[in-house]
Structures are given as C-alpha cells and as structure tokens.
Amino acid sequence: MANRLKDKIAIITGAARGIGAKSAELFAAEGAAVAIWDVNTERGENVAQQIQSAGGTTIFCKCDVTDATQIADAAQRVTSELGMPNVLFNNAGIAVVGELEDISEADWDRQYAVNVKSIYLVSRAVIPLMREAGGGAIINMASESAYVGFPMHPAYTSSKAAVVHLTRSMAVRYAEDNIRVNSLCPGTINTELYQEFIAQQDDPDAVNKEIEAMHPLGIGEPEDIAWAAVYLASDESQYMTGAPMLVEGGILSL
C-alpha cells in the first residue's frame, strides 16, 4: 500500500463493476475510505466486501444517480459514516447504441440523464461538503468518444463531449474553493459494457478486431483507467484542473 490517497474520503459512482469497481479497489488500496454508489446492490456489496477483506475502509450506498433524493440520502450517509468527502469520481455511465434516426427520445434522454445530468446532480450535492472539507478533487468520466465521431454512437459521443466542457466550466468556477475538476477520457476498455456492445453485433469477432486495430496499444483493461483516476484524485495532480486526461491507447494519434 503506497498511501497515495491517505486521508482521502472518496465517492465513486457506478462502482459495482468495470472501471468503477477497479477504481474503488485501487483507491482503498492507496489509503482512501471509499463510498461505493450504484443501483446494483448485490454487486456493489460484493465489491465492498472484497475491499474490506483486503483491509480497506468502504461502505456501499444504493443510489440512482439520476435521482436527487437518493443522492442526498447517500451523501448524508457518507458524511455520517466516513466524514466529509474530498474526492468525487463521477464514473456512472451507460452507452446507447444506434443511429440518430433510430434512437428513441426515451433512450436519448436516458443517455444524457445518466452520463451528464448525474454529474450535475451528484456534484451539486457533494461540492458543499467538499468545500467544508477544505477542497478536493472531482473526476468526471468522459471518453475518447468526445473526440471521435463514431457513427453508431451519436447519443453517447455527444454526451461525453458535454462532460468535457461541463468539466471545464466546473474547474473555472470552483478553483477558488480549492476544488480541482478534471475529466478522464478512456479509450475502448474491456469492461462488461463493452462486451455487451460486442455481443449485439452481427459479427462480434470482426467488430472486436476492428476496434482493437483502431487503437495502437489495443483494447485497454479497467485498471489502466483506474490508475489514472488514482493520479487525478491524489495530490500528485494538484496543479491540474479543467483538463481532459486522455488514456486512449493512441487512437487520437492516428
């Protein structure tokens, strides 16, 4: 344990699987007390149990990050059981697949509710607590898709571009409160979300190979992004705010 996050109290949304779960594990291993927020109780509690078994400090809060009431309740529990948070990783997200003409209004709205509005709702609840704690770091999950026009992902790509610019606005506003805000932009990562997308394709193997070939370093793993999140949450990045941190396997260099 390197204690890069010693004395940090962190909230990670969407932490029951994938990048969120791996980030929760690494945050705890680096000394942070971690609050896992997710709608999936069974998987969220399992992640918390694994962290506790490894000697880490954590709690699981069932929370729909599109619901302001649930967010307020979860934030209150964090302050009661762990203390004032000084790290927030807005990781929760979904991916709506489909061409512009085929996506329903309901799916479009849900894409933005989970990927963008949740950042507004959770940050609105947590920033006053973070200010009381003396400052901290917010990480907003964006994507390589904020910079690449994938034709089958107009809802997803546009939502992630919104996250990048929302982050810049937040960074400028909250610098005076000693709150840094950065976005994290992963490349294609081997998560369940990605595997679910691949499984929907007519020729999954061909699509997987095509996507892998688009990234000079290939498809990444959750820990590749979780370590980047550790850096953004730590004091090592204390002079960094408003920045999109690209961890995308080289796709944007092509």
Q: What's the order of all strands across the beta sheet hosting 244-247? A: 57-62, 33-38, 9-13, 87-90, 136-141, 179-186, 244-247
Catalytic residue among 112, 120, 147, 156: 156
Q: Which residues contact 79 (CB under 8 A, 6 or more apart)?
A: 85, 129
For residue 247, what are the β-bridge partners?
186
* 191 SS3 class: coil
At 124, list the tokens.
């609105």
Dist CA 118 CA 109 (whole Å)? 12
User: How many CB atoms are closer than 10 A to CB 2?
Assistant: 10
Is 112 considered catalytic here? no
- The angle at the Cα of 111, spanning 110 to 114, to the nearest 5 degrees, equals 80
- The angle at the Cα of 147, spanning 141 to 148, to the nearest 5 degrees, equals 115
Q: Which residues contact 18 (CB under 8 A, 6 or more apart)?
A: 189, 191, 192, 193, 222
Contact 91, 13 (CB under 8 A): yes
Catalytic residue annotation: 156
